Amino acid sequence: MNNSNPQSYLPRKHDADGTIVLIEDDDQLRKAWGDFLKREGYAVILAANGEKGLAAATRTQPDLVVLDWMLPDLEGTQVCAQLRERCVTCPIVMLTCMDTVESVVKGLEYGADDYWIKPMAFKEARARIAALLRRNTCDAESDSYLVISGLEVDLKGQRVKKDGAEVELNTKEFGILKRLISARGGVVSRDQLLASVWHYDAIMETRTVDNYILSLRRKIESDPANPTFIQTVRGKGYRFWNE
């Protein structure tokens, strides 16, 4: 029976080497890859179609997405493009039988970071995954400290200063700020903020996000009524503007 609901494999993310979303409609391949990734120490979320994979990756903001090109509802390139539109910034791998230069270029143009030809030996996949995650970690660390217009944000140390003075942020406020900065100028919706900061561990309303944004602006903006850093994108959400 083809179960299209995303399935989570333990260990949970904070105990694992990273979280990988695998979007593959073939039941046997999905299970085989899921078992392999689990043995490698990753937390794995399995999805059998594009819509379920989109929802899972948007909700969890994983460390890697492995995406089959041919899916029953959406083409893999469509899923890849929509993930980028939803500010999923982790590496995305396209997994396909097509090995022409044109198909490789097409996948990369839609936002993929790598292109794997089936069948892919697990030994090779292990090395490629490690390289992608290592590169992504280095990129994240290089962007972990931000200084702009009197605002200093140390994402790794979870410290914020405004004009040299320490700014006290609570956990949710810092989580919002970190998520917006990590989007690198992209728009982050209220639902995405709820998913990444609150983890949907309680029934929350999008209005809650607006209230925290207001509080955060009062602490880091020189003029909260006319914000420079945290901008509202009408009908879509918020973004951190640094230009």
Average pLDDT estimate for 41-68: 92
222 within domain boundaries = yes
Looking at the fold, whether 164 and 57 belong to one and the same domain comes out as no
CB 33 within 8 A of CB 22: yes
Q: Share the mean pLDDT of the chain.
A: 83
Q: 114-117 and 92-96 as β-strands: parallel, antiparallel, unpaired?
A: parallel
Query: pTM for this structure?
Result: 0.58
Looking at the fold, whether 59 and 43 belong to one and the same domain comes out as yes
2 within domain boundaries = no
193 within domain boundaries = yes
Looking at the fold, whether 80 and 186 belong to one and the same domain comes out as no
**Can you tell me the distance from the alpha carbon of 102 to that of 87, in angstroms, rounded to the nearest whole number?**
26
Token pair of 100 as six digits: 């022409």
135 within domain boundaries = yes
CATH number for the domain spanning 76: value is 3.40.50.2300
Looking at the fold, whether 89 and 170 belong to one and the same domain comes out as no
Confidence band (pLDDT; 50, 70, 90) for 1? very low
Looking at the fold, whether 16 and 30 belong to one and the same domain comes out as yes
Say what the pLDDT of residue 11 is: 38
Please say if the pLDDT value at position 50 is more than 90.
yes
Please say if the pLDDT value at position 2 is more than 50.
no
Say what the pLDDT of residue 169 is: 93
Percent of the chain with pLDDT over 70: 85
CATH number for the domain spanning 230: value is 1.10.10.10
Say what the pLDDT of residue 15 is: 40
Say what the pLDDT of residue 110 is: 77
Please say if the pLDDT value at position 5 is more than 60.
no
Please say if the pLDDT value at position 225 is more than 90.
yes
Average pLDDT estimate for 29-48: 94
54 within domain boundaries = yes
Looking at the fold, whether 96 and 156 belong to one and the same domain comes out as no
Residues near 143 by beta carbon (within 8 Å), at least 6 away in sequence? 155, 181, 182, 184
Looking at the fold, whether 26 and 94 belong to one and the same domain comes out as yes
Say what the pLDDT of residue 140 is: 54
Domain boundary among 109, 140, 171: 140
Looking at the fold, whether 230 and 162 belong to one and the same domain comes out as yes
Looking at the fold, whether 116 and 28 belong to one and the same domain comes out as yes
Give the total number of structural domains in the chain. Answer: 2
Domain hosting 21: range is 7-140
What confidence tens digit (pLDDT) does each residue in 68-116 have? 999 999 998 899 888 887 778 888 998 888 777 677 777 777 778 888 8
160 within domain boundaries = yes
Please say if the pLDDT value at position 202 is more than 70.
no
**Can you tell me the distance from the alpha carbon of 168 to that of 5, in angstroms, rounded to the nearest whole number?**
41
165 within domain boundaries = yes
Token pair of 171 as six digits: 């956990």
Please say if the pLDDT value at position 119 is more than 60.
yes
Q: Which of 11, 51, 2, 55 is nearest to 29 (CA)?
A: 2
Looking at the fold, whether 53 and 97 belong to one and the same domain comes out as yes
1 within domain boundaries = no
Percent of the chain with pLDDT over 90: 42
Residues near 233 by beta carbon (within 8 Å), at least 6 away in sequence? 187, 239
Confidence band (pLDDT; 50, 70, 90) for 136? low
Looking at the fold, whether 26 and 127 belong to one and the same domain comes out as yes
